[in-house]
Structure formats: structure tokens, C-alpha cells
Amino acid sequence: MTETRATEAPQSVPQEAGGPLSGRLVVDLSRALAGPHAAMMMGDLGARVIKIENPGTGDDTRGWGPPFVGPEDDPQATYFLSCNRNKESLALDLKSADGRTTLRQLLERADVVVENFRPGVLERLGFSTDAMHSINPRLVILSITGFGHDGPESHRSGYDQILQGEAGLMSLTGSGPEDPQRVGVPIADLLSGMYGAYGVVAALLERERTGQGQVVRTSLLASLVGVHAFQGTKVTVAGESPEAQGNHHPSIAPYGLFRCRNGSVQISVGSEKLWAAFMSTFGLDPAAEGLASNADRVRNRSRVIDVVEAAFAEYDAEPLLAKLADAGIPAGKVRSLKEVYEWPQLASQGLLLDVEHPLLGPVTLPGPPLRFFDNVAGAESTRRLHTAPPLLNEHDASIREWLSTGEED
């Protein structure tokens, strides 16, 4: 693929669209963000994704705004547009005979089903994991909850910000211990979607060996604990409780946001070699007392910040970034999201998708973060054709026709 921006395609995935999950069918029973994000990732990989929505209202995120775009009598939430590309929409009342029959027909053909209902809801509708596997033993079922599928708090509803607090992430984020802050995107939802998609791909691979599907479980709680990284082992191994400390790394110095004459820049001095290069660039002694090792610098963080910001005080941000680049010091600016989406580097990485929305016309969406290359063919094998998020129940007729004939649109 030579283009950096993909173009629109028919909603049912044509064979030439490509991607490693091409030919797989995903039934997306989820709503809001965690499950839809997982299903969208599978769609980005080439799977055909059929999104099941509530009649009349659809996914909750269709009403999450502003901002809304499009006609006043049918406004489209940009929130919904963010997590439902490469999907078809079918509205089903799962409490009705028609809804249950149609879902059963889909499950018979599906490779994957994604759901994020509260524990027990699908069982009451007649679609427990055992029931779904009796319909299709090869089915991989991704189930995402808030606090986990079992345990003393499994009954609790899971919302991203609540889990950011409960899982400790907010205690690590903010200017200091008295200023807990949420991450600026629903990171628990997004991470559980990513972990879920990762689990599904592993289960599909194992199915090649066993011939059987299985249940993949994750939760918002698990996804956040899964990214505690060195902050987690600081607790479990060192017996310490980490706290928020603003825009500076807890274990490396200098590594963070530093003021200069007309703003600020970020630097990452992650080795003693870089520290020596950094200090010599500004005519300073890297072996100064209390600054010679990373452990010293972490212990004397406030002094390090003073030294760095004193050196930066005579520079504006752009000349300073150029000076740091010449010295081989990792550095960067803090961009607004508007600046990010105008950045040529984004388009070069396929991170912008131009698609044709049935109501809005041409729109640009943030693109998928994975690319694939076929070394034998010497070409990119990433999914090439992408589709806009669907209107509610847009594909009722085509999906029902396919179910009745067994043929693609």
C-alpha cells in the first residue's frame, strides 16, 4: 500500500480489503467503549464486525455529546464515531423471538462474540457462555466486566473514572499526592479493549490446534493493574506506596517537563551517557556532587530541576529543541490535539483514515495503530479499505438477506 490515507469501501468487508483477520466474523454485543474498542480493533485487522444495537436508541455513545455533527434532526455523536469504524449495524430486541433467533443465526456463523454486560444478564436472555458454545463450539467469547467476573465486588458496575480511582491510577496522576487526576482519555476502557482483542487473537490461534473456542475474560480493573508496571513492583517488592509527582519520572532524572524562556520542553535523560552529553552541551559538570548517578539525581530531584531550568532559561523552546536534537538528547514539545492531527508524521503512519459516512459524507477518522508487512511480497498487508461507523440498523436488510441465503452482499 503506497497511500498513507485509506479510502472508503462497501460495509461488508470485500476480500481485497486485506488484514490478518480477513474472513473472520465478529458479533459485537457490547456498548459504550471497552467492548466496542476491542471489536473495532478486530475490524481494523480485517474481520467482518456486525454490531448488535438496541432498537430505537442504539449504543449509548450515540447520545454522548456534544459535540454532535450532521443534520439537526439526526445528529451524530463524535464519541460514537471514535470507536465503531469498520462495522455494520443491526438493531435487535434480544427479549423478542425474532431478536433471539437472529442472534442465534449469527452465532452459528461467527468466530468471535464480544460482550460487556453485567454478570448474569446474558444468562437471563438465554445466551450464557455454555448456551453460546452449544450453538457454536468453535466460538471465541470475549467478556469484559468492570471489577472482574467473580470475587466479592464482581457485582459492581464498571465505569472508567471510577476504576481509574479504584485501581490506583489516579493516585499516580496529578501534580502531587493531594491532586489526584484522571487520565485525559478513558484509559481503563481502552486498555481492557486492547487486552481483550489480544486475548481473542490468542484464543483464535489456539483454536487452530484444538478445534474448540473458549472464553476470554478481562476487566477494567485487570487492565489497569496490568499496566502498573514498575509502580506495581514498587509496592509488591519494595513495600513502598508510590504517589503522584507531576510531570517528572519517579525513577529517572532528569526525565520530564521543564520550563524554558517562552514555554516548556520535555527531555528524557535515561542513561549516564546521555547525562554526560546533556551536561556538556550546556557547559555543566556531570560529576557534580549529588548529581553523578541516576540514583543521586532521583534523590535530589528538586536540585536537578533547578539546574536544568537554569540552563534552559536563556532559550526559547524551538531553538532549545534544535540544540537538544544536535546533542542527541531525546526531547519534544507538548502538542495540542489539533496540532497532532495536522502533523505530517501522523499521515505518514496511516493514522488518518478518509471514509465516506452515509449521512456526513467524507470524514477523517483517527486510524489504527498497527501495520503489517509481507516480506515475501515486499508490500504492506495492512487492511486497505475502511468503512465509516454505521447508522443505527443501517444493515438490517443486507444482514438478514445474507443469513437467509448464506451468501455475501
Cell of 69: 455533527
Could you tell me if residue 92 is left (phi over 0), alpha (psi between -120 and 50 degrees) or otherwise beta?
beta
Give per-residue burial for 199-215: e unless 16+ CB within 10 Å, then b. Answer: bbbebbeebeeeeebbb
Residue 211's contacts (CB-CB under 8 Å, 6 or more residues apart) are 138
Side-chain-side CA neighbours of 355 within 13 Å: the count stands at: 25
Q: How far apart are CA 377 and CA 320, in angstroms?
A: 44
Q: What residue spans of 182-300 are helical by DSSP H?
A: 187-210, 220-225, 229-236, 272-281, 294-299
How many Å apart are CA 63 and CA 359, to the nearest integer?
16
Catalytic residue check, 28:
no
Question: Please, what's the b/e burial string for 351-379 (b: 16 or more CB within 10 A of its CB; e: otherwise)?
Answer: bbbbbebeebeebebebbeeeeeeeeeee
How far apart, in whole angstroms, are the C-alpha atoms of residue 172 and residue 2?
42
Task: Considering the candidates 60, 189, 306, 409, report the single residue annotated as catalytic.
Answer: 189
Distance CA 42, CA 339 (A): 28
Could you identify the residue written with the cell 496511516? Answer: 350
CA–CA separation, 65 and 238 (whole Å): 44
Q: Residue 342 is placed in which grid cell?
A: 495536522
**269 neighbors 329 (Cβ within 8 angstroms):** yes
Q: Catalytic site residues? A: 189
